[in-house]
Amino acid sequence: MKKFLIKKFVRKFFEKKSIRKIFGLNLAVVILLTSFVSTPISALKANSDQEVVALTENVVELTTQHSVRVPLDTFEVTQGYSLFHHGIDLDEVLGAPVYPLMDGRVEAVFYNRFSYGNHVLINHGSGFKSLYAHLSKIIVLPGDEVDKNTVIGTVGSTGWSTGSHLHLEVYENDRTFNPLTILK
């Protein structure tokens, strides 16, 4: 209640034009006088020597590196990711080299006559894996360390395939997602 009474008194006090004018003018004079009278504060002492620093231009060359690569040199997406197709199909000529998306370790190699046909599963770490299916030839073995420039196999038409292409699936924590989200 006291705060309310004080606020009410202050508001009534400053609502009068003459008081506002006098208070505002006095405040302006006080600010001007203190700026002329007060000494400036400086980080440098009056008797200290100044140090001169010369800056030279250094050229630093920066290079960036993509962490994910496209598994084929040239391709065309012929079938996209969907609820019933958990990867993408990349059309390429028979025998074209296939590269892993990222560095990793070959987790498994499969030679099948059905389904994915000959395919490779690579573990990239941190729950991220990729699968390369319908390969005509597999060059890597389980446990091999691969980088983005290692040829892991060649494009083929094995398993349930109607023509030469690479079927690519990517997994994060054992769940598939659309590979185009990381390839673009």
DSSP 47-75: TSPPPP--------------S---SSSS-
pTM assigned to the model: 0.65
What pLDDT score does 52 carry?
74
Residue 154 pLDDT exceeds 90: yes
The full set of domain ranges for the chain reads: 2-37, 76-183
Q: For residue range 83-112, list pLDDT tens digits in order.
A: 999 999 999 999 999 999 999 999 999 999
Q: For residue range 49-86, list pLDDT tens digits in order.
A: 667 777 777 777 767 667 899 999 998 999 999 999 99
Residue 145 pLDDT exceeds 60: yes
Both structure tokens of 169: 């699936």
Average pLDDT of the chain to the nearest whole number: 84
Residue 148 pLDDT exceeds 90: yes
Higher pLDDT, 32 or 91: 91
Q: Three-state SS for 169?
A: strand
CATH 3.40.50.2000 fits 76-183, yes or no: no
